[in-house]
Amino acid sequence: MTKYTLKVEKRTIFGNKIKKLRREGVIPANVFGKELQSQAIQVPQVEFDRIYKESGETNVIWLQVEGEPKERPTLIAEIHRNPITGGKMHIDFHQVNLKEKVTAHVPVEITGTSDLVESGIAVLNQSINEIEIEALPTDIPESIVFDISSMKEIGDHLSISDAKVSSNVEIKLDSELPVVSLAEPQKEEVVPEEVPVEGEVVVEGEASKEEVVEEAPKTE
């Protein structure tokens, strides 16, 4: 298993001054955990982006906090983003005990192909994008895979019960919930063209009856 290690510094800058950090390519962050006082830190964005691209939010990231002798095992709890640009504004790291189970949300991954979808006879509807699970931090899967190759007819579906996960992973959702299904394509509604009433002549650019034309003032 790959070990992801990220060097971070303790943060002493707060409030409006945080904007200066972001301009310098540093992301403000916090580490929190069970029976642990929240610690303000700052993360180099380039290094975080490199690790995050490989680890995602389901792998343990070991934080090397400046001045601390031991690394902290963490999971990414949340990445706060700018609603306009999508840039990373703040990161919350959850420090975990590797011997205690945690709850996590794992993305759904769709694999395989459906002949009906490929031919346009059916569309694939996905109703669940993430699945809540409980497992030890090191047992959290990167994704939960659903293979749609077995879906042959409109109405076929795959449910939570079809998820293939390790026995070390407990899914917290109802097993009967549908994840993906095949449905008929929606027919486009045809809007009838407006037919002019008999005797009514429409002239492009003609002023409507409601328009009032003001007369030019008379010169005395």
Q: DSSP for the chain, please give it.
A: -PPEEEEEEE----GGGHHHHHHTTEEEEEEEETTEEEEEEEEEHHHHHHHHHHHTTTS-EEEEETT-SS-EEEEEEEEEE-TTT--EEEEEEEE--TTS-EEEEEEEEEES--HHHHHTS-EEEE--SEEEEEE-GGG--S-EEEEGGG--STT-EEEGGG----TT-EE-S-TT-EEEEEEPPPPPPPPPPPPPPTT----TTPPPTT--PPPPPPP-
Please name every residue paired with 8 in a beta bridge, in sequence order, or none if there are none: 65
- What percent of the chain is modeled with pLDDT above 70? 85
At 200 the pLDDT is: 58
Burial of 135 (0-12, 13-18, 19+ CB in 10 A): buried
- For residue 218, give both structure tokens: 């008379």
Q: Quick one: pLDDT band at residue 204, thresholds 50, 70, 90?
A: low
The residues pairing with 161 across neighbouring beta strands, listed in sequence order, are none
Q: What is the pLDDT of residue 101?
A: 96
Structure tokens at 171: 């899914």
Instruction: Show the domains of the chain with their CATH numbers.
Output: 4-96 (2.40.240.10), 103-183 (2.170.120.20)
Task: State yes or no: pLDDT of 149 exceeds 80.
Answer: yes
Residues with Cβ within 8 Å of residue 201, at least 6 apart in sequence: none
pLDDT of residue 217: 47
Res. 203: pLDDT tops 80:
no
61-65 and 4-10 strand pairing: parallel
Concatenate the DSSP letters of all residues of 120-143 into one string: TS-EEEE--SEEEEEE-GGG--S-
- Looking at residue 199, what is its pLDDT? 60
**What is the per-residue pLDDT across 101-120, written as a single tens digit (0 to 9) for each?**
999 999 999 999 988 999 88
101 CB-side CA count, 13 A: 10
Whether residue 214 is predicted with pLDDT greater than 50 in this model: the reply is no
Dihedrals phi, psi of 72, to nearest 5 degrees = -105, 125
pTM: 0.77
The pLDDT assigned to 16 comes to 87
Classify the phi-psi angles of 77: left when phi > 0, otherwise alpha if psi is within -120 to 50, otherwise beta.
alpha
pLDDT (tens digit, 9 = 90+) per residue, 47-62? 999 999 999 999 999 9
pLDDT at 2: 85
